Chain A
Amino acid sequence: AQSVTQLDSQVPVFEEAPVELRCNYSSSVSVYLFWYVQYPNQGLQLLLKYLSGSTLVESINGFEAEFNKSQTSFHLRKPSVHISDTAEYFCAVSNTGFQKLVFGTGTRLLVSP
């Protein structure tokens, strides 16, 4: 069975500071990895994904994540956060070829001025 662990339930950070949200997964088969963001009273939006190829993936708004197979990790980073990045972030995994997503428990990113 697959599982995803997000080690931090909440990460407070000041605006323009760097941030890392940690994600570890377990799976016995090949997986796809995802980061989703959820703003208050909204659904989930895909932030970035790893399917294959380059282990470093980037989003259009400055986030990046690196797939590390040996450490079974997919940590999310941003070098300089904005107030508008305040949201809950979910790491997720799916078996290749399947639509079922297994989510972590989420990390609430709180950006203050």
Chain B
Amino acid sequence: KAGVTQTPRYLIKTRGQQVTLSCSPISGHRSVSWYQQTPGQGLQFLFEYFSETQRNKGNFPGRFSGRQFSNSRSEMNVSTLELGDSALYLCASSLVASGAGYNEQFFGPGTRLTVL
């Protein structure tokens, strides 16, 4: 079974631009979560999607948004990029969403975003 895939793997943008990152979960997984990893702040939860609905949200500004499609693929968008948005963005998928007991999250390799 193929793992979680994220595209692109590397991205360079300039301040003020917007960016869209894509995540394809493991086949059959319906929950997708996004995390931001930076040297200063570490790993921080962005949001979780299940059945095209955002179920949980972390403490990030409204510039960070996401969505999930009917095939469970997810995208996250960052508008008006700032230098501090440079990070590794990780996506994780699991069979079901919050509220259904423990569901192991499987992480993708991440998209490394550099904002110049």
Contacts and interface: CB of A to CB of B under 8 A. Distances in A.
A and B bind? yes
Interface of A: 32, 36, 41-46, 49, 51, 90, 92, 96-106
A102 B45 contact: yes
Interface in B13-72: 31, 33, 35, 42-45, 48, 55-56, 58
A99 B94 contact: yes
Q: Which of B33, B44, B107 has the most chain A CB within a 10 Å cutoff?
A: B107
Contacts of A41: 109
Contacts of A102: 45
Interface of B: 4, 31, 33, 35, 42-45, 48, 55-56, 58, 90, 92, 94, 97-110
A49 B101 CA distance: 14
B49 to A, nearest CB: 10
A43 B33 contact: no
Given A90-B43, A105-B42, A106-B42, A99 B98 contact: yes
A99 B33 contact: yes
B98 A97 contact: yes
A44 B109 CA distance: 8
B42 A43 contact: no
A26 to B, nearest CB: 16
Nearest to B32: A99
A92 B92 CA distance: 14
B110 A43 contact: yes
Contact of A99 (B44, B56, B90, B109): B56
Given A43-B4, A100-B56, A104-B42, 13 more contacts: A32-B102, A42-B109, A43-B90, A46-B104, A46-B105, A97-B99, A98-B98, A100-B58, A101-B35, A101-B43, A103-B42, A103-B43, A106-B43
